[in-house]
Structure 1
């Protein structure tokens, strides 16, 4: 596997690349990261300190070792860090979540990145309110990361885990969701369009995601441009149920126009 290059990355993308390196190696020195990412020693040491403060790594003499969340993630999550468009979408979407609210996340690389950026928000960490945010998720990897933050209350749904996505589905997850209300759901999709709505490839995941949408006051779809204007196998919700789509500039202009005409607020980052 090729090593990521950090030159030109913003902090969030650089952190994701660094965590990807940790997932590969388990332990990193300052010199390794300088060589792999092409950044200064001062930047690496600052990143190590910030990641340790987020409890994502443990500092050692001259380096860091991976915390539990950096191990054993499926490939679809490990590869998310190098996608700058995905990081831009995640950063913008994370800032849309209000302090004190209840936010739901389904599984996927973009929702995982959004949850990570939400957990890194300094205003939430510094808030006197405890918890300053409540996260409800059927994604095991998101729950594993969120539970480490003392300012986040994390509610993990029950159910049967799919090894391909770390998502929980089935009647247990449906039963728990039926008793909860969400202020916002951040929804990852395999495709989104005005005609097809939000869709994904697996019908079991679509069923749980659909209930999340039903229990939420606001639906924010996070999707890179390659997913816009397309349709996948199973529908999660119609486009009329989506309040906001956060995507990047590679999304087809005509598909974005159709979504805006359907009443969706489209944010291109």
Structure 2
């Protein structure tokens, strides 16, 4: 590669990030034939312009740490992708199934797509999910009780966790705020993370519904490592490198289109 100008290097870095999701200082230095010091200065300049976020020895396109937002605000993000993810997830529900549905706007999309085969039993954390499913007479709903989070309109806490000790379901459908290949699954709320951990123990199979904005990000509360996940359903905008990394860990990955 020829020697690039400052602006050309910056364009190269940003384009690489758009394609891969993250890139290391060492790899950029090798690709651009410049020193690691030069790359670090480039990354600092781009971070000051809020065009990327620096991490240890690398960079990503967005700040990986997520703030808690109200469910109404989250509903406006990636609506079509969530609808497709929800539709595919609903197709995994079998006749006379018993399932767990956690909280999150992608869970709302799932609930809207559910057409039960025979009779369906659902244990729900989110009140909005219960409201959607309650319209169908072929669905029995067990609403978990406890402290209601204002931002997600879902329950958390000891009461909900205690209820789950009495149940075993075929599948848990779970939304998350962050998926990091090294750190695992996270959410912005510690109490929600704790409830999700108990839900995982109550299910035979863990299915994660996550649009592409959730990848490479971290919330405050860790839910689990990736090895606890059986299946991830996402959209077509997840970098192929990330999809490969998930599949190498033995996780079934579906891109809903």
After TM superposition, the score normalised by the length of structure 2 is 0.69
Q: 2:124 matched to 1:137?
A: yes
Query: Residues of 2 paired with 1:158 and 1:265: CA distance?
Result: 32
Q: Which runs of 5+ in 2 are unaligned?
A: 1-69
How far the C-alpha of 1:159 sits from its partner, in A, is: 0.3
Q: 1:178 is paired with a residue of what secondary structure? A: helix
**1:238 counterpart residue number:** 225
**1:150 counterpart residue number:** 137
Q: Which one has the largest radius of gyration?
A: 2
Which residue of 91, 94, 114 corresponds with 1:95?
91
**2:158 counterpart residue number:** 171
Query: Which one scores higher on RCO, CA 8 angstroms, separation ≥ 6?
Result: 2
When structure 1 is superposed on structure 2, of 225-234 and 245-254 the one drifting more is 225-234
CA root-mean-square deviation = 1.7
Which residue of 59, 66, 79 corresponds with 2:76?
79
Q: 1:183 is paired with a residue of what secondary structure? A: strand
1:20-54 CA-to-partner distances (Å, cap 9, x unmatched) read xxxxxxxxxxxxxxxxxxxxxxxxxxxxxxxxxxx
After TM superposition, the score normalised by the length of structure 1 is 0.66
Query: Residues of 2 paired with 1:148 and 1:77: CA distance?
Result: 24
How far the C-alpha of 1:259 sits from its partner, in A, is: 1.0
1:1-34 CA-to-partner distances (Å, cap 9, x unmatched) read xxxxxxxxxxxxxxxxxxxxxxxxxxxxxxxxxx
Query: Residues of 2 paired with 1:225 and 1:239: CA distance?
Result: 16
Query: Residues of 2 paired with 1:96 and 1:257: CA distance?
Result: 22
Q: 2:88 is paired with a residue of what secondary structure? A: helix
**1:223 counterpart residue number:** 210
Q: 1:79 is paired with a residue of what secondary structure? A: coil
Which residue of 250, 256, 260 corresponds with 2:243?
256
How many residues are matched? 187
Q: Which runs of 5+ in 1 are unaligned?
A: 1-72
